[in-house]
Amino acid sequence: MQWFIDKTLKPVLIIGGLGTTAAMAYALAPQFAVENIANLGFRQEYTIFVQHWGMMVGLIGLMMVAAAFKPAWVLPIMIYASLEKAFIVYLAVSNASSSYSEGFWAPAIMDGIIVVYSLLYFWSLREEQ
């Protein structure tokens, strides 16, 4: 498994990080992102929350890309990113019966793949010891 992680970690961090960085659209253009990406009705009173969420998630994406080039950053970024991403998967699944969850399935699927990869990464660390 270590060979697999060694060969794929950098591309996963870059591709997954760029996908995650796309959430910055919610910070920069909240109404557009909510209506056109999530396909939800925009509510003006949630603008600050939507923008904060977009910036927070977008920045973890940037940190994932940076970690691809800074090996010392990989473990802490993988821990934080996998926890954050596992939570959005949980939220999408636990709210699957609600119409408002429909706009979050694409990110939840991407995040689920990254969480599974992260578990393999953490498992590979055990093999190194």
Q: pLDDT tens digits for the chain (129 residues)?
A: 899 999 999 999 999 999 999 999 999 999 999 999 999 999 999 999 999 999 999 999 999 999 999 999 999 999 999 999 999 999 999 999 998 888 889 999 999 999 999 999 999 998 776
Element at 104 (helix H, strand E) = none
Predicted structure pTM score: 0.91
* Containing structural domain, residue 111: 2-128
Hey, how many other C-beta atoms are within 10 angstroms of the C-beta on 7? 9
The total of structural domains in the chain comes to 1
Residues 6+ apart with CB under 8 A from 52: 27
